[in-house]
Homo-oligomer: A and B are copies of this chain.
Amino acid sequence: MADRFGSPLPQPLFDRLTIVGVGLIGSSLLRAARQRNLAARLVAVDASEAVCARVREIGIADEVTSDACEGVRGADLVILCTPVAAIEIVARDVAQHLAPGSILSDVGSVKGAVVAGVQPHLPATVHFIPAHPVAGTEYSGPDSGFSTLFVDRWCILTPPEGTDAKAVEKLQTFWSEVGSNVEIMTPAHHDLVLAITSHVPHLIAYNIVGTAADLEEVTQSEVIKFSAGGFRDFTRIAASDPTMWRDIFLNNRDAVLEMLGRFNEDLAALQRMIRWGDGQGLFDLFTRTRAIRRSIIAQGQETPAPDFGRRSTPSSDQ
């Protein structure tokens, strides 16, 4: 990790970086940019005065304002880090204040709707390059960020056709410098990939936690006590920011419903195996799924520590 997240650059990549929306992702970007000297000046914008006050307190930006138009002025890189539904609104509001030749990007978990919502508002002199760092935790707000959040994670860029290659390259460098691997794809493919690797997993996690909370035969106290049997794993992603996730489902509806359809078909088949006692069918699936985790660990996207390393399991312990 030290190699991937080294010493500060001798020269900043950007003159003025403006982050709009200082939550987990925005505040992590400010911290990483400061640490790596990615911009000469860091500007933080948040609609909430309370968040602005907190950002001033923790001192992760050089300038802090609740006025997005003022914040983006003169910036050569603006990254919108608000929930998805707010991205279009902010982009429309600041469009005429963006510097000619600047890059406008975002970190939204949905890309098709963002492109459709933002692009029509922008002057032709601005390079619009949507992005999505696939990284996060279940916490939110400016205090939850940390500079190494993006290390060894993937960041997906979805530049519209004809985007200036140099601008794309510069944004790619920015994400590499915060520790990420970068991949380029179309917005539509992004939305399909994320529907299965992120959106549907969140949906079924929210759903099972809701189901468990509503039971009458099993008390909430029992659900909590015996959650170490597997349930508690799901509560982590079901503790993610409600606004952010509401927006994701509303803005990636088609891909989510498509992937959810596949999930439901497969679950119906599994349900039938249980009903009819098809032990071999169950065993075959449960063996196949093991291999996928091994690949995820081998590719550095997951820890091999038992139980996510939740607590120490000393290997010398007998």
Contacts and interface: CB of A to CB of B under 8 A. Distances in A.
Contact of A290 (B192, B242, B302): B242
Nearest to A274: B249
Copies of this chain held together in the complex: 2
A238 B201 contact: no
Contacts of A262: 211, 214-215
A267 B270 contact: no
Contact of A318 (B58, B218, B288, B295): B58
Main secondary structure of the interface of A (DSSP, over half): helix
B289 A235 contact: yes
A162 interface: no
A45 interface: no
A226 B220 CA distance: 33
Contact of A201 (B154, B234, B266, B295): B234
A285 interface: yes
A118 B262 CA distance: 40
A229 to B, nearest CB: 3
B249 A282 contact: yes
Contacts of A230: 197-199, 201-202, 205, 237
A204 B206 contact: no
A154 B311 CA distance: 16
Contacts of A210: 266, 270, 285, 288-289
Interface stretch (A6-14, A62-70, A90-98, A141-149): A141-149
A40 to B, nearest CB: 18
A224 interface: yes
Contacts of A240: 286
A170 interface: no
A111 interface: no
A134 B226 CA distance: 6
Given A203-B267, A260-B271, 5 more contacts: A154-B226, A197-B231, A225-B301, A239-B294, A253-B277
